[in-house]
Amino acid sequence: MPLPASIPGVIDVHVVSGAEASPDAPPDLLVEIPHGATATRDFRSLETLLSSELPADLVDFFHVNTDAGAPELGEAVAHAFVEASPRRSVALLRCRIPRTFIDCNRRIDATAAEFEAGRVTPGLMPWITTGADRQLLRERYDAYVSAVHAAAGTLDASGAMLLLHSYAPRSVGVEVDAQIVESMRRAYLPDVEPTWPLRPEVDVIGRTVEGESLAPAAVVRSLREGMALAGIRVEEGVSYPLHPSTLAWEHVTRRPGRALCLEVRRDLLADPFDPFVEMRIGAAKVARLAAPLAAALGRWWDH
């Protein structure tokens, strides 16, 4: 079964093949970046289609809340992976729907209580108030989710998935409501920002709310060792749990031991980290993380 095609404004599908990879073979690894809409144009192109009254300067929240650096890291990991294993290939799945409007890593029918239990933001944002907007966003969401499921369906029993994210350096406690932009600006004032809890440099999102780890142990062990050599500490489940309100939960539980959900702190990728603009991503910073991550992913095929 072939991989799905890219859909403008919804998903970019890109294959990185090793020099000896068979063009007819399924990908060995899928790298999904569900919050991959990181460019200002991603936000503006969809904003113009919406009729809801959006908070003023909502693009500021878009920049502080989208996974800057994750697409670049995913691409670098794919190339490092196939360089080490030239018979293998990687399919990169990058969402182009801003999570500022609808989150393509959420189960849209989850309740507010479920999102709260998972310590995650909502699936559909509260400023989306018109039926036409909800229909438009749901159609794009459904198209994205269907494409990812189709891509996952091309994997054979040995195939694996990396669910790749980046997050802001600090866990900022503000309400996701119509005042989100003003709240974020206050939260990032020079004398306020340092008061928020600092997040792990790399966090494996693999523990359930009950504390059970669903992460692939050998891959995580290799990741810890490789990142430590680069001076980076890897934690597991510190930021938030792997929760059924997210679609990452679905991927991890459908492929036991063959899926890894990962958060990387954005200041390790951005050069510099500047929360309210489209960030420049540093090539050297990306390379520092890509090499040990690609090596760790290779452990899936060691046996």
Reported as a single tens digit per residue, the pLDDT across 159-201 is: 999 999 999 999 998 999 999 999 999 999 999 999 999 999 9
166 phi/psi in degrees, rounded to 5: -130, 150
Is there a domain that residue 1 lies in? no
Q: How many Å apart are CA 225 and CA 219, to the nearest integer? A: 10
- pLDDT value at 303 more than 70: no
pTM of the entire structure? 0.95
Q: Report the largest interatomic distance among the alpha carbons of the chain, rounded to a whole angstrom.
A: 56
Q: Is residue 239 part of a domain?
A: yes
Cα 207–150–286 angle (5° rounding)?
55
Q: What is the mean pLDDT of residues 262-288?
A: 97
Residue 4 within a domain: no
- What is the C-alpha to C-alpha distance for residues 282 and 302, in angstroms, rounded to an integer? 31
Is 92 a member of any domain?
yes
CATH number (domain holding residue 81): 3.40.630.40
- What's the rounded mean pLDDT across residues 49-68? 97
Helices 283-297, 217-229: inter-axial angle, 10-degree rounding = 140
Q: For the chain, what is the radius of gyration of the CA atoms?
A: 18
Task: Output the pLDDT for position 199.
Answer: 97
Q: Is residue 6 part of a domain?
A: no
The mean pLDDT value for 144-151 works out to 97
168 occurs within a structural domain: yes
Query: pLDDT at residue 158 above 80?
Result: yes
Quick check: 110 pLDDT over 80? no
DSSP 3-state of 260: strand
* Domain ranges, residue 120: 11-301
Q: Judge contact between 100 and 35, C-beta under 8 A.
A: no
Domains in the chain, number: 1
**Is residue 81 in a domain?**
yes
Over the stretch 239-266, which tens digit does the pLDDT of each residue have?
989 988 899 999 999 999 999 999 999 9
State yes or no: pLDDT of 118 exceeds 90.
Answer: no
Give the Cα separation of 206 and 209 in Å (integer). 10
At position 189, the amino acid (one-letter code) is L
Q: Does residue 186 sit within a domain?
A: yes
